[in-house]
Amino acid sequence: MELTVYLAGQIHDHWREEVIQKAKEQNLPLTFVAPQTNHERSDRVGEDILGEQPGNVYRDDAASDINNFRTEVLMQKSDIVIALFGETYKQWNTAMDATTAINMNKPTIIIRPKSLVHPLKELANKANVTVETIDQALETISYIFE
Amino acid sequence: MELTVYLAGQIHDHWREEVIQKAKEQNLPLTFVAPQTNHERSDRVGEDILGEQPGNVYRDDAASDINNFRTEVLMQKSDIVIALFGETYKQWNTAMDATTAINMNKPTIIIRPKSLVHPLKELANKANVTVETIDQALETISYIFE
Amino acid sequence: MELTVYLAGQIHDHWREEVIQKAKEQNLPLTFVAPQTNHERSDRVGEDILGEQPGNVYRDDAASDINNFRTEVLMQKSDIVIALFGETYKQWNTAMDATTAINMNKPTIIIRPKSLVHPLKELANKANVTVETIDQALETISYIFE
Amino acid sequence: MELTVYLAGQIHDHWREEVIQKAKEQNLPLTFVAPQTNHERSDRVGEDILGEQPGNVYRDDAASDINNFRTEVLMQKSDIVIALFGETYKQWNTAMDATTAINMNKPTIIIRPKSLVHPLKELANKANVTVETIDQALETISYIFE
Amino acid sequence: MELTVYLAGQIHDHWREEVIQKAKEQNLPLTFVAPQTNHERSDRVGEDILGEQPGNVYRDDAASDINNFRTEVLMQKSDIVIALFGETYKQWNTAMDATTAINMNKPTIIIRPKSLVHPLKELANKANVTVETIDQALETISYIFE
Amino acid sequence: MELTVYLAGQIHDHWREEVIQKAKEQNLPLTFVAPQTNHERSDRVGEDILGEQPGNVYRDDAASDINNFRTEVLMQKSDIVIALFGETYKQWNTAMDATTAINMNKPTIIIRPKSLVHPLKELANKANVTVETIDQALETISYIFE
Amino acid sequence: MELTVYLAGQIHDHWREEVIQKAKEQNLPLTFVAPQTNHERSDRVGEDILGEQPGNVYRDDAASDINNFRTEVLMQKSDIVIALFGETYKQWNTAMDATTAINMNKPTIIIRPKSLVHPLKELANKANVTVETIDQALETISYIFE
Amino acid sequence: MELTVYLAGQIHDHWREEVIQKAKEQNLPLTFVAPQTNHERSDRVGEDILGEQPGNVYRDDAASDINNFRTEVLMQKSDIVIALFGETYKQWNTAMDATTAINMNKPTIIIRPKSLVHPLKELANKANVTVETIDQALETISYIFE
């Protein structure tokens, strides 16, 4: 049984590569999909495709059209969603993606550092599993194959 | 990841061939499905299968039975819907197909010329992405694979 | 049993007043809701509420946000939808509203003149009932109470 | 037609009172529901009901059980959701509530200051309407009754 | 607690009057709704509203548009469905209405004589309760109020 | 594109073999599934598996458990449903299966002789397409691949 | 805002009277509904209505038809479900009712003694709130009205 | 046609091996999935992954997070669910899994000894098929392929 995992969350560091590398080392039968991780391209994709927009609000809205489209296609193809929250950014799109996954009955794992326990408590409460590290998330998925 | 794309919209010109040709040139892993594009056959299919009907209203209704059946089968098999509106016709069936796709949570792209911005504003507002050209629609889909 | 009826369709003439007046004359226990019928206000409501927009595309999109919001609230409160198509305009929003009603399992009546049989054939085929006059639509609803 | 409005968002200031007061002044036929707005009680309600918990993680999880229960009951009773984001906090629960409302097809208005346009762009893109002030949100709702 | 009960089934005798009369005698807090029970009007309603049709197939289809519309409105308003099968007719519309009720999670009671046990076995198996008499159906509903 | 077709309807003659043979001759990419067509085994399967039952009602109910289970598994795997009605039997299970298919949004074709137009009018009205012969049903499906 | 609460669980003691009495003392705006609490009548209702059955399996199945019918009607009318587990019985119907409530998105509270923590852990994990006493359950509901 | 079968139920004996072995002997085209059957690992998996918990309630809740996550992933991949009840344990998680399967429209077979007829009557009534032995469950599934 092959499973597809959507990796929601921040695109400012290389956590996805770590997940993918570790899953490979453990020979887990997983395919990973994700949002655009080139931050600049992600912010600019609306104008890249639709042409210059009249200011930041419209530029951001155009980019969101394209990014939400991509997320919707790929999340519908996924069996599991991992959503990682880091300490720096607002990450409301991550909260939105995790919530949408939960509402679609996609089994969902949240990864967040201890420092974020309090602000993430309601969402952690709704997710299937909440952990602190990438290793714990992969252990949770690997448990399916035991 | 292979994706299936339903091409809703007018059947009076050759825009579907252009989409398919360009997707091929870009090696996009897409399979395309569509309504009957032979216009005469599409209008006549009710009588072709069910026999002569007593007038135009019944002839049209019989054809719609068969065409809506085909659309329903193929749209359910699709991951993405592109709906193209041109300047000439009423295209209420295109509006119906695009709306149905949106209501089925099929990620949906509308292509329409600038001249149609005003009459299509409510539907464009509900679609995931609205663009003006076939190239922009394919760029949007190709962005999924970046 | 009181029923609420959403009146989708063009806002360029006074067909809704006619529906409401005739329903009253027949003492039908119906409450009617509808989109904004002041055309100018409808087109301008985005800028009225959100402020001036940078051009027509954005002006139209802002207006559609508000108009689609109103439609969604009122259609969810309705038991029946009547969608009237006239001969003049593109009316893709009417096609969208009728399709959404059908997809929400709201029993839906389409009113259209004979001249529109052909372009509306697929949507007429999906609606519960398609008629040519307001009187026929009201007879259909009044039949529920016989 | 009476409508019920759920007021999601931060509980650190008095924006809900302002909404309610202004709606009253305009005689809008609205009933408002909301999460617990006593912040201390909200954080402590898990232990208040279930007894002392062994540390903050468990205290927060217990509180979230009760708060999510309340939100679920009240949001299901609502016709419209307003979600307000302010500049100070993480507000991931607000993002979760707004997303859940959108996924439940509850017509949803987001209020956020200009400074939050960029981090909220994906969620604003999915909401029905996004505005900057309480007055604009109320104008949007009041437009339903025009 | 008032409940609304849809009475599906044949319109050739007076079983509905019996149900209503007995419910009244027992003071059950029930409101009853039903299809058109004037058989001639039911068969003719398509032509009554839409005008003369070109033959029986079209006459029947027009009548079904109107009758299915009525059923859909009233069944959505109902909390419980009773479907009665008699020994004489084909009653495929009754089978359709009972199945639709079951698929809509409307708690459904089938009434059928012993002689119909075999041909109705699959549908009886899917219904919540299957009984032989009107009295048993009312006892089943009256049990809710004990 | 391979499609799976569920063949609902009477099991007293060999119409399914005819469908399968003709589809093969036309090289249609179809896989067919169906209920148990050995009538005796179908009626007896409850007792075959669960042991002797105390009378006909229980024997029939036990058989229906198993037959409805089989239908549910196979219909969920299907893309299209064909339901054939013949002139002889009550066929309420066929009406149930066709209705369930329609309620599950499985594109559905009804085959029925002219003599059954009147009693099947409501169900024919809800199906996507209603035809009189096996050849017409296959033409309808084959139209998808044009 | 009036809320309706379904009280699932054992019918061998008087816990429901205690819930109702305490809710009344606190003036909570709650209406309570419940399964048949006369145990003998509940076990016998199948035969009471449908007549003598040929043995215990059939007697129990007939009773379950009627009891599940009642539960389905009343649970659909409810806004909240409380499911109480006691120490003595198997209570698989209580587990079924609580699970159904959770799957229907009815906000659900489980009451169970400490001794049942381990066997109920998976269901407690899925419920919105799990408590040990009736007082805690009522505090949870009363929190909605603060 | 390959089918996937989820084997819900107790993990204290070796009934799953028996199912799998017998299916293999009969060459049934079935793939089986199941919960963790190493009981100790199942109870301990929360602490194995998330670290030591402050007492039994939290240890059990952490294990349930992981076990419910596994069940949700695998049940969504299944076409059929078999749930076996034995005589010894409370097995409320089995009742929960069977109920969830039924609510998800997964065709569901319950296996239970005669001694459990009475306490399982409501759930047996809702399942598609209820049998007493593994052989009967496999005969039911094998009937699909006849």
The 3-state secondary structure of chain A, one letter per residue: CCEEEEEEECCCCCHHHHHHHHHHHCCCCEEEECCCCCHHHHHHHHHHHHCCCCCHHHHHHHHHHHHHHHHHHHHHCCCEEEEECCCCCCCHHHHHHHHHHHHCCCCEEEECCHHHCCCCHHHHHHCCEEECCHHHHHHHHHHHHC
Q: Which residues contact C101 (CB under 8 A, 6 or more apart)?
A: C6, C8, C75, C81, C83, C108
Touching check for D30 and chain C: CB below 8 Å?
no
User: Chain H: nearest CA to D52, how far in angstroms?
Assistant: 12
What one-character DSSP code corresponds to residue C114?
A: G
Compute CA A24 distance to the chain's CA centroid, rounded to the nearest angstrom: 19
Chains that touch E (3 or more CB pairs under 8 A): B, C, F, G
Quick one: average pLDDT of F119-133? Answer: 98
Rounded Cα distance, C65 and F21, in Å: 54
Nearest by Cα to A33 from A101, A129, A88: A101
Rounded Cα distance, C127 and C106, in Å: 10
3 state SS of G6:
strand
What's the pLDDT band for D92 if we cut at 50, 70, 90?
very high
Residues from chain H contacting residue D58 (CB–CB below 8 Å): 54, 58
pLDDT greater than 90 at residue D89 = no
Residue F35 tokens, joined: 């209920």
The sign of the CA dihedral D112, D113, D114, D117 is negative
pLDDT of amino acid E12: 78
Nearest by Cα to C141 from C69, C78, C88, C55: C78
In chain E the domains, ranked by start, together with CATH numbers, are 3-144 (3.40.50.450)
- Cβ-nearest to F121 among E60, E100, E116: E60
Residue D46: CA count within 13 A, CB half-sphere:
23
Nearest by Cα to H5 from H39, H33, H45, H41: H33
Q: Are F16 and F34 in contact (CB under 8 A)?
A: yes
- Cβ-nearest to A73 among B130, B139, B144: B144
Residue E66 tokens, joined: 């109107």
**CB–CB of A50 and B136 under 8 A?**
yes
Interface of B with E in 50-69 (CB under 8 A): 54-55, 58
Residue D46 tokens, joined: 């898990």
Dump pLDDT digits (tens) for G6-26: 999 988 789 999 999 999 999
Dump pLDDT digits (tens) for B54-110: 999 999 999 999 999 999 999 999 999 999 999 988 999 999 999 999 999 999 999
Residues from chain G contacting residue E130 (CB–CB below 8 Å): 65
The interface pTM score, or ipTM, of the predicted complex is 0.96
Dump pLDDT digits (tens) for A87-127: 988 999 999 999 999 999 999 999 999 999 999 999 999 99
Residues from chain C contacting residue B84 (CB–CB below 8 Å): none
User: Chain H: nearest CA to A123, how far in angstroms?
Assistant: 14
Q: Are D32 and D19 in contact (CB under 8 A)?
A: yes
Residues paired with E3 in a beta bridge? E30
Q: Are G24 and G87 in contact (CB under 8 A)?
A: no
H-helix or E-strand spanning residue B108: strand B108-111
Residues paired with H80 in a beta bridge? H5
- Maximal CA-CA distance, chain G: 54
The sign of the CA dihedral D100, D102, D107, D108 is positive
Touching check for F33 and chain H: CB below 8 Å?
yes
Chains that touch G (3 or more CB pairs under 8 A): D, E, F, H
Residue G61: CA count within 13 A, CB half-sphere:
17
CA distances from B53 to B60, D68, F111 (A): 9, 59, 18
Full pLDDT tens readout for chain H, 146 residues: 899 999 999 887 899 999 999 999 999 999 999 999 999 999 999 999 999 999 999 999 999 999 999 999 999 999 999 999 999 889 999 999 999 999 999 999 999 999 999 999 999 999 999 999 999 999 999 999 99
Rounded Cα distance, G133 and F57, in Å: 45
Quick one: average pLDDT of C3-21? Answer: 94
Helix axes F15-25, F134-144, angle to 10 degrees: 40
H-helix or E-strand spanning residue F130: strand F129-131
Dump pLDDT digits (tens) for D95-107: 999 999 999 999 9
Alpha helices (H) in H8-117, listed in sequence order: 15-25, 39-50, 56-76, 92-103
Q: Are D92 and D83 in contact (CB under 8 A)?
A: no
Dump pLDDT digits (tens) for G87-132: 988 999 999 999 999 999 999 999 999 999 999 999 999 999 999 9
Q: List the beta strands (DSSP E) in E1-146.
A: 3-9, 30-33, 80-84, 108-111, 129-131
Touching check for C75 and chain B: CB below 8 Å?
no
Dump pLDDT digits (tens) for F59-98: 999 999 999 999 999 999 999 999 999 998 899 999 999 9
What's the pLDDT band for G31 if we cut at 50, 70, 90?
very high
CA distances from B112 to B17, B116, C61, C66 (A): 17, 6, 14, 22
Rounded Cα distance, E52 and C94, in Å: 28
In the sheet where H80-84 sits, what is the strand order? H30-33, H3-9, H80-84, H108-111, H129-131
Rounded Cα distance, C100 and C104, in Å: 6
What's the pLDDT band for C112 if we cut at 50, 70, 90?
very high
Nearest by Cα to D128 from B86, H66, C72, F22: C72
Dump pLDDT digits (tens) for F20-31: 999 999 999 999
Q: Which residues contact A132 (CB under 8 A, 6 or more apart)?
A: A111, A112, A113, A114
Rounded Cα distance, E120 and E135, in Å: 20
**CB–CB of C38 and D136 under 8 A?**
no
Rounded Cα distance, G17 and C138, in Å: 50
Residue E146 tokens, joined: 């004990």
Other CB atoms closer than 10 Å to residue A7's CB: what's the count? 24
3 state SS of H3:
strand
Q: Are E62 and F117 in contact (CB under 8 A)?
A: no
User: Chain B: nearest CA to C99, how far in angstroms?
Assistant: 6
Q: Are F111 and F8 in contact (CB under 8 A)?
A: no
3 state SS of H16:
helix
User: Chain G: nearest CA to E128, how far in angstroms?
Assistant: 6
Q: Are D36 and D11 in contact (CB under 8 A)?
A: yes
For chain C, percent of residues with pLDDT exceeding 70:
100
H-helix or E-strand spanning residue B16: helix B15-25
Rounded Cα distance, E38 and A85, in Å: 65
CA distances from E130 to A6, E109, F94 (A): 47, 6, 19
pLDDT of amino acid D33: 98
Block residue for tokens 């009627």: G66
Full pLDDT tens readout for chain A, 146 residues: 899 999 999 887 899 999 999 999 999 999 999 999 999 999 999 999 999 999 999 999 999 999 999 999 999 999 999 999 999 889 999 999 999 999 999 999 999 999 999 999 999 999 999 999 999 999 999 999 99
Rounded Cα distance, H10 and H84, in Å: 7
Q: Look at phi and psi of residue F55 and say left if phi exceeds 0, alpha if psi is from -120 to 50, else beta.
A: left
G90 burial via Cβ count (<10 Å: 0-12, 13-18, 19+): middle
